[in-house]
Amino acid sequence: MQEDDDRPSRHDGVVLSPEEYGWLVLDRRRGRHHRLNPTAGVILSLCDGTRTLDELVADVSDHYGLEPGEAATQIRPLLVEVEALGLLMSDDAAPAVERYRSPRPLGWDHTGGTYSALDLHFDVRCTDLTVLETIERSLHTLRAGPDTQPATHLDVWSHNAGWSGQLGSRTFGPGLPAEYVAEQVIGLVNQSVVARNRRRWLVHASGIEHEGRCVLVMGPTNSGKSTIAAAAVAAGFGYLGDEVIGVDPITRQVEGYPKPITINPGSKVVIGAGDADLGISWRNWYLDPELLHAGSIRRTASLRAVLIARHSPGAPIGPTPCDTSDAVEAWMANSFNVARHAAHVDNIEAMTRSVGFYRYEHDDVAATVDTLAALLGRI
C-alpha cells in the first residue's frame, strides 16, 4: 500500500460526472471514457490530493457506514484499478499492481479447473486447498469444457495471515480475511470480463431466457434486476447472467455470463431460496442458479425485449413502451463500453425499433415474472 503521507490525486485532465447508474469518467489527456460503479466513483472523487490514505479510509467509512478495516480492504483494489487506468498521479516508478500487492509465492500448491466468461478464459491457482475449493464452488457455473485453454491465471495466495489475489492486472488485498476471498474473486472476474471484451456491446443487465428467446432487465443499482432474475430462474426460466450481458451488434444474439446471482439481504425474504446460497459472503447471498432450478444455465439466446426496471412501492402493474430516443438513452446509460456503443448508434437505433423496450416500475416480484413470461411467449 502507499506510504502513510501519500495523498492520492487525480490527474488534472480527469473529469467526473455522477450518474444514476454510477460515474462517467472522461480522461481528456488520453481521449478515453470509463464507467465506474458508485463506490469506485466516490473513492476517485475523494482523490483530490488533500487526503492521506488513512483520511481517505475514514471518509469512505463514514460515507458507507463501514468499519475502517473493511473500508481499507475495498479501497486498496479500487486504487489499483483507477491508477492502472492512468487516472491517478504517481511518483512511484513501480507499476500500481506491484506497489499494492503482497509478495507472490514462488510455486503453487494447488491448481484448479479452467473457467470461461465471454472472452475471458482462465485457470485458478491457490496456496490453500480449502480456499481453492471455496473459489471453485463460487465459479462452478463458469466451468469450461475440456478443450478450453486458459489465457491467464487467477492467482490467490496468503501472506502474513492475509489473502491477496490477481487476475491479469486486477488485484485484491493484501491482508484480506479468508472469508472475503470468494466474493473478491467474483469481483475480479466481473472487471476482467469487461476489460477483455473486444467485439460485443456489454450492458449492465440480468438476462432471462425461454426457448431460445431472451428478455434483458436493466436498471440502476437496487432496481431489483438480480431479485427478478432469481425469482424467474426459480420459476423455471433459463439464466444468462445478472451483471454483464454481451450482445452482438450485428446479429443481436445475446451471450451470457452466468455467474452466481447476487442479491442483498432485503431480497432474501422475497426469494426465500436459502438452500441455493453458496455461503461465500456475510453481506449478500450468492445464489447458485442450478440449485434454484436444475439445468437453468444458458450461454446464448435471441434478444426479444428489454425491461428498464425500477422498484417502486405501490407501482401499477404493466410495462410502458419506450420511444426510440428513450430506448437508445437507456441502452447507453447501462453500457459498460460507451465508446464502442457510440460508434454504432445507427445499429442501436435499429435494434430498438425491432426489439421491444419498456419502462417498468414494479412492486411485486411474482407479477414481474408473469410479465417476463408474457414477453417471452411462455403463457
Q: Which three cell numbers stand for residue 296?
A: 437453468
Regarding whether 134 and 28 lie in a shared domain, the answer is: no
364: left (phi over 0), alpha (psi -120 to 50) or beta: beta
Q: Is residue 9 part of a domain?
A: no
Regarding whether 90 and 229 lie in a shared domain, the answer is: no
Q: Which three cell numbers stand for residue 56?
A: 481517505
Regarding whether 278 and 253 lie in a shared domain, the answer is: yes
**How does pLDDT run across 170-181, given as a tens digit for each residue?**
888 777 788 889
**pLDDT above 50: residue 1:** no
Regarding whether 222 and 117 lie in a shared domain, the answer is: no
What is the chain's percent helix, strand, coil content, to nearest 5? 35, 30, 35
Q: Which three cell numbers stand for residue 371?
A: 410479465
Cα(136)–Cα(182) distance, integer angstroms: 9
Q: Is residue 263 part of a domain?
A: yes
The domain of 154 spans: 110-196
Regarding whether 267 and 207 lie in a shared domain, the answer is: yes
Cα(235)–Cα(228) distance, integer angstroms: 11
**pLDDT above 70: residue 106:** no
pLDDT for 94 equals 44
Chain center to CA of 242: 8
**pLDDT above 80: residue 314:** no
Alpha-carbon radius of gyration of the chain: 21
Regarding whether 347 and 246 lie in a shared domain, the answer is: yes
Q: Which three cell numbers stand for residue 54?
A: 488513512
What mean pLDDT comes out for the span 18-28? 77
Regarding whether 367 and 232 lie in a shared domain, the answer is: yes
Q: Is residue 5 part of a domain?
A: no
Please answer whether residues 16 and 25 qualify as being in contact, where contact means their C-beta atoms are separated by less than 8 angstroms.
Answer: yes
**Strand partners for 126:** 110, 156
Minimum mean pLDDT among 62-71, 153-162, 189-198, 295-304: which range?
Answer: 62-71
Cα(43)–Cα(64) distance, integer angstroms: 11
Contacts of residue 140, defined as CB under 8 A and 6 or more positions apart, other chains included, come to: 288
Regarding whether 261 and 317 lie in a shared domain, the answer is: yes
> pTM value?
0.74
Q: Is residue 103 part of a domain?
A: no
Q: Is the peptide bond before 95 cis (omega within 30 degrees of 0)?
A: no
What mean pLDDT comes out for the span 364-368? 84
What mean pLDDT comes out for the span 73-88? 77
Complete DSSP assignment for 54-66: HHHHHHHHHHHT-
Q: Is residue 58 part of a domain?
A: yes
Total domains in the chain come to 3
Residue 225: other Cβ atoms inside 10 A = 27
Regarding whether 205 and 321 lie in a shared domain, the answer is: yes
Contacts of residue 115, defined as CB under 8 A and 6 or more positions apart, other chains included, come to: 121, 122, 123, 124, 139, 142, 143, 144, 154, 189
Tell me the pLDDT band of 233, cut-offs 50, 70 and 90: very high
Q: Is residue 101 part of a domain?
A: no
Average confidence score pLDDT of the chain? 83
Give the range with max mean pLDDT: 34-48, 97-111, 269-283. Answer: 34-48
Q: Is 159 exposed, middle or buried (0-12, 13-18, 19+ CB in 10 A)?
A: middle
Please answer whether residues 259 and 190 qualify as being in contact, where contact means their C-beta atoms are separated by less than 8 angstroms.
Answer: yes
Please answer whether residues 230 and 267 qualify as being in contact, where contact means their C-beta atoms are separated by less than 8 angstroms.
Answer: yes
CATH number of the domain bearing residue 301: 3.40.50
Q: Which amino acid is at 27?
A: D
**pLDDT above 50: residue 183:** yes
pLDDT for 214 equals 96
Single out the residue in 174, 196, 218 at which a domain terminates: 196
190: left (phi over 0), alpha (psi -120 to 50) or beta: alpha
Helix (H, G, I), strand (E, B) or coil at 287: strand
Regarding whether 137 and 37 lie in a shared domain, the answer is: no
Q: Which three cell numbers stand for residue 89?
A: 498521479
Chain center to CA of 33: 18
Regarding whether 285 and 333 lie in a shared domain, the answer is: yes
CATH number of the domain bearing residue 48: 1.10.10.1150
Regarding whether 214 and 181 lie in a shared domain, the answer is: no
Cα(258)–Cα(271) distance, integer angstroms: 18
Single out the residue in 136, 170, 196 at which a domain terminates: 196
Q: Is residue 8 part of a domain?
A: no
Q: Is residue 4 part of a domain?
A: no
**How does pLDDT run across 262-285, given as a tens digit for each residue?**
887 667 666 665 577 777 776 678
Single out the residue in 44, 62, 94 at which a domain terminates: 94
